Amino acid sequence: MSNYYNMPKLPTENSPKVEIFVDDKAVMVPGDTNLLEALKAVGIETPHVCYHPYLPVSGNCRQCLVEQEGPRGRMLVISCYTPVAPGMKVYTPASSARVKNARKATQEFMLVNHPLDCPICDKAGECTLQENYMEAGQNEGRMRPEYGKNYHGNPEHQFIDAKGQLRGGKRVDIGPRIFLDEERCVQCDRCVRFMRSIAGDEQLQLAARADHTYITTFPGEKLDHEYDLCVTDVCPTGAMTAKYFRFQKRVWLLSHTPTVSMDDSLGANIWLDHADGKIYRMMPRCNPEVNRSWISNTTRLACLEFGKNRLPAIDMSAIKLEGKVAIVAGGECTIEDLAAIKMLAEKTGAEVFGGTFKKVGSPDGIAMSGDPMANRAGFKLMGLADDNLADLAKRASEFQTVIIVNNDVIGEGKGAADALKKIPNRIVLGAFDNETAKMATVAFGINHWSEVQGTMVNSLNMIQKLNAAPTAPDANLQPAYAVLSALAGTQFTSAFEAFKKAGEYASVLAGLSYDTIKSSGKLLEGGNA
Amino acid sequence: MAECVKVCTENFGKGAQDIEVYKKLGGYENISERLFNMSQFELIDYVQRSNLRGRGGAGFPTGMKWSFVPRGTGKPVYIVVNADEGEGGTFKDHFLMLEDPHRLIEGLIIAAWALGSRAAYIYCRGEFLPCIESLNKALNQAYAAGYLGENIMGTKFCFDIFVHRGAGAYICGEETALINSLEGQKGQPRLKPPFPAVSGAWKSPTCVNNVETIMALPWILKHDPSEYAKMGTPRAGGTKVFCISGDVKNPGVYEAPLGTPMMTMINDYAGGVVGGKLKAVLPGGSSCAPLTAEEAAVATMDYECLASMKTMFGSGAMIVINDTHNMVDLLNVLGNFYSHESCGQCTPCREGTGLLHRILNQIVAGNGHDGDVEFMQSLCGGFGGVTICPLSISLGGPVSSYSAKFRADFDEYIARNPDHAKPRVQENYRPGIFW
């Protein structure tokens, strides 16, 4: 397949509007995009399999056909590769039987060699083929057993099943995190394009041709990349499945909480998929400005640890502030937590330290900023120090009490342990029973960021909302801002109360509310996204 | 049979592989002051007036194609010669390159001057080893004689020709797949636009021409374009090299003017049908619709007449079939070929050609059922105009037309199944019921 395919142009808020005729009705659509996106903008969904807004257009599924009036009459064209032109005349299945039949035929072809193992397929429920079938097709199958299916697959993986049918490779171990089901693959080429154009490491290839085509890696190589689990997201069928989520839960039983990852200062937008109080998986949530449709494996696989090794909730009376107090805030503190910290510092005269001992890298241009201090921009906004932990280590003997909030200082920087042990009263507010919690005199369990409502400011200076997934292992756990504000004397009863308090410290936040911050975040003044 | 002017095949059998012989026969006379004094536009106008149409199958006017190549883009212009002759029944380019490689080189120099090109690639089918040897030998001679390389004939014009061996995929005869293959990528057609004339090989303007098209240029330049145009039909000038194969007495390569009656080709040139009576003729290679004996009697070999009979002129490869053959057998061979050669890019072609072949296999194996033919016909309805390249139609077209024109052959095969009237067993899943 040619490497020359170009990224689709997506409409933005500033796109010029042009008039086109859809089914002989004049509509205004964004003028600088492809027909598929333009039709979507006016509420007409076009079924597609290979097209993905953040991958180069390859136009091989032929599912998004529409009819276009051209110099040689009405022609079928693929809407994903047809640019919008003013005055163009387009016909969708609503008015054109030819389009309807062409899409039906393509759908039938796509299912010719696709196994009907939906009942045991992990993708069932969120499979593009199923969606297209339910929306547009629901046609009765015309395949008969005698015709036989020609399952796609590497000849080395093929086998003959009990009925004597030649089958393609099932459960092919294509990499350390992914299984490939060659039979289910519809050769949409998305994973190949993802690895080539987004990951920048062409590890996947379509081998062979015709209906023998199959996805493979280079001989002896494995699919192994920091972003390789994204191919399971872009896969429209159950061909690429993540080992960590395979057979864990039917997807229609999952609830989805839109939130933001505090793994990294880019704040990748994510869905937390959970059921019965347990997080089963993390999926990228599309945000064109931030992480598009991608999240890294580090961000994603961390979700499996959120419920494990947690600190228990204990009674507030265990926390006693004696002498001079230092508060050490970590990057996972939300704006609300920082507001409470600031309030507590004002109340008790405590000094606030912040930062991380982890190595700060550089952005990878996909979905990682490289900075492990997630809310660093938020610290700056609130006027808090974001990089003075070394200072604390030097001056440890000045303090009698230290409150460590959401910061694994000991785990990250071993040298800090000796210094911090000089402080007699060590209070740790954290989600996990990590090394910092182990050296604490009081280890106080709080909610993890996945379980709290709040906001964070990412490295692009966008304020983004976190939503609480109902996955806290213990109902008595409280968010950090609640505990800290209680210590300061006036407990915040809601995240928004804390956010309003933050508005007093940082003027740019003052006019905002959770409703005015969209789900895709809001660029703060002076931002440079 | 009137003696016709030979444009491309005049040196056949005269040992023109050698440059001295070729020059004695009047070769390389065009590579002279006269050519280098012509402007690019004059030369393109010359070709346009000759009414030369592409000989690869699509029949696109060559002069017009050249005029689409943008000038002054700062990018080099490439000429690619499509010598990846893969269509069933076509073998003219093979003989043209084998017998007269210098004419191709001479034609390419003319084309390069017209397009301002610095380099040309001859994408030759990998199996044509003798051709490649013949071409390389001729190229060495032409370089030695100063017709190629730096400063040709003392001018500032420089031009190189490279022979590229394909790896034997039928689809690499499609121009964008050919360019992909030439670049070292998988031979799969590209989305159009951009067309190769604007952005082809290495994203540069590229002109892809058939071997025979290029080989007609020396004659046109030496004589007059109007003389060439006069030989053919009003809309397509010149002669055509036909490949006649199948049940004829003398199968082979014949050059004749466009518009020659089909029966003249079969009877006078190829010596008539052998082994039985004429049943069908495929006029333009394996992917075109067949003509019955009655239709063949009135058909003439040119683009317009064959298009009006709902088939195509294609590459001029006539396959003559006598009445001892069952058309289903032929179609099964085509099914095997096209389902194997589908590049696997577009869904309808990738899955559909294989399914058609499996149904044909069932019919040939004696497991045909009533309704199979209608099922195949309706599947072919899903091919029309929906894929990137026309390979799906190359099988879909024959399936539709064979079954329409020779239905009796299909019924004969299906009748061999004693249970043919029973419907095929329905699989026990019917999603419509459960969901």
Same-domain pairing of B343 and B285 = no
Q: Which domain holds residue B74?
A: 19-231
SS3 category, A406: coil
Same-domain pairing of B201 and B246 = no
Same-domain pairing of B183 and B215 = yes
Same-domain pairing of B252 and B350 = no
Calpha distance A130→A127 (Å, rounded):
5
- State the pLDDT confidence band at A137, using cuts at 50, 70 and 90: low
We report the CATH number of the domain holding residue B137 as 3.40.50.11540
Comparing A92 with B59, which gets the higher pLDDT?
A92
**Count: domains in chain B:** 3
We report the CATH number of the domain holding residue B274 as 3.10.20.600
Buried b (16+ CB within 10 A) or exposed e, B216-244: bbbbbbeeebeebbebbbeebbbbbbbbb
Given B196, B231, B266, the domain boundary residue is: B231
pLDDT at B3 over 80: no
Distance between the two ends of chain B, CA-based, in angstroms? 69
Quick: pLDDT tens for A198-241: 999 999 999 998 888 999 999 999 999 999 999 999 999 999 99
Same-domain pairing of B261 and B399 = no
pLDDT value of residue A29: 95
- State the pLDDT confidence band at B435, using cuts at 50, 70 and 90: very low
Alpha-carbon dihedral sign for residues A501, A504, A507, A511: positive
pLDDT value of residue B94: 93
Same-domain pairing of B345 and B300 = no
Calpha distance B315→B286 (Å, rounded):
10
pLDDT value of residue A526: 63
Same-domain pairing of B316 and B331 = no
Same-domain pairing of B336 and B383 = yes
- State the pLDDT confidence band at A148, using cuts at 50, 70 and 90: confident
Q: What is the ipTM of this complex?
A: 0.90
Degrees, nearest 5: CA angle A418-A329-A350: 85
Helix orientation angle between B211-222 and B40-49, rounded to the nearest 10 degrees:
100
Q: What's chain A's average pLDDT?
A: 91
> Does any CB of chain A come closer than 8 Å to the CB of residue B174?
no
pLDDT value of residue B234: 84
Using DSSP bridges, classify how beta strands A325-329 and A351-354 pair: parallel, antiparallel or unpaired. Answer: parallel
Among candidates A101, A138, A144 on the partner chain, residue whose Cβ is nearest the Cβ of B425: A144
Same-domain pairing of B300 and B343 = no
Domain assignment present for residue B225? The answer is: yes
Q: Do B169 and A63 lie within an 8 Å CB cutoff? A: no
Q: Do A210 and B354 lie within an 8 Å CB cutoff? A: yes
Calpha distance B10→B101 (Å, rounded):
13
Q: Do A144 and B424 lie within an 8 Å CB cutoff? A: yes
We report the CATH number of the domain holding residue B380 as 1.20.1440.230
Buried b (16+ CB within 10 A) or exposed e, A12-35: eeebeebebebbeeebebbbbbbb
Same-domain pairing of B79 and B158 = yes
pLDDT at A5 over 80: no
Write the class of the CATH domain A145-305.
alpha beta
Among candidates A57, A61, A146 on the partner chain, residue whose Cβ is nearest the Cβ of B347: A61
Distance between the two ends of chain A, CA-based, in angstroms? 34
Q: What's chain B's average pLDDT?
A: 91
Q: Do B188 and A213 lie within an 8 Å CB cutoff? A: no
Q: Do A58 and B385 lie within an 8 Å CB cutoff? A: no
Q: Do A112 and B351 lie within an 8 Å CB cutoff? A: yes
Residue boundaries of the structural domains of chain A: 17-112, 145-305, 316-523
pLDDT value of residue B434: 40
The DSSP result for A247-306, as a single string, is TT--GGG-EEEEEE--SSTT--EEEEEEETTEEEEEEE--BTTTTBT---HHHHHGGGGT
Q: Rounded to 5 degrees, what are φ and ψ at B220?
A: -60, -40
pLDDT value of residue B432: 43
Quick: pLDDT tens for B373-402: 999 999 998 888 889 999 999 999 999 999
Give the pLDDT mean for B303-309. Answer: 91
Burial (CB < 10 A; 0-12, 13-18, 19+), residue A104, is middle
Give the pLDDT mean for B144-150. Answer: 93
Q: Rounded to 5 degrees, what are φ and ψ at B166?
A: -75, 170
pLDDT value of residue B409: 95
Same-domain pairing of B210 and B245 = no
Write the class of the CATH domain A316-523.
alpha beta
Quick: pLDDT tens for A269-327: 999 999 999 999 999 999 999 999 999 999 999 999 999 999 999 998 888 888 899 99
Quick: pLDDT tens for B340-352: 999 999 999 999 9
pLDDT at A528 over 50: no
Q: Which of A263, A454, A483 is nearest to A356 (CA)?
A: A263
The CATH code that applies to domain A17-112 is 3.10.20.740
Calpha distance A234→A191 (Å, rounded):
7
Q: Which of B328, B313, B356, B69 is nearest to B199 (CA)?
A: B69
pLDDT value of residue B2: 57
Among candidates A57, A61, A209 on the partner chain, residue whose Cβ is nearest the Cβ of B343: A209
Given B301, B320, B339, the domain boundary residue is: B320
Distance of CA B293 to the CA centre of its chain: 24
Q: Do B191 and A59 lie within an 8 Å CB cutoff? A: yes
Give the pLDDT mean for B128-153. Answer: 94
CB neighbour list of residue B127: distance below 8 Å, 6 or more residues apart:
B168
Quick: pLDDT tens for A354-388: 988 888 899 998 999 999 999 999 999 999 988 88
pLDDT value of residue A4: 55
pLDDT at B1 over 70: no
pLDDT at A529 over 60: no
- State the pLDDT confidence band at B428, using cuts at 50, 70 and 90: low
Domain assignment present for residue B432? The answer is: no
Query: In Å, how far is B194's CA from the nearest CA of chain A?
Result: 11
Degrees, nearest 5: CA angle A192-A197-A203: 45
Same-domain pairing of B89 and B140 = yes
For A34, which DSSP code?
B
Q: Considering only alpha carbons, which residue of chain B is nearest residue A141? A: B430
- Which residue's structure tokens are 């979507």? A40
Domain assignment present for residue B1? The answer is: no
Q: Do B427 and A144 lie within an 8 Å CB cutoff? A: yes
Cβ contacts (< 8 Å) between B381 and chain A: which residues? 101, 105
Cβ contacts (< 8 Å) between B194 and chain A: which residues? none
Strand order in the sheet with B160-165: B160-165, B119-124, B78-83, B206-210
> Does any CB of chain A come closer than 8 Å to the CB of residue B431?
yes
Quick: pLDDT tens for B354-380: 999 999 999 999 999 999 999 999 999
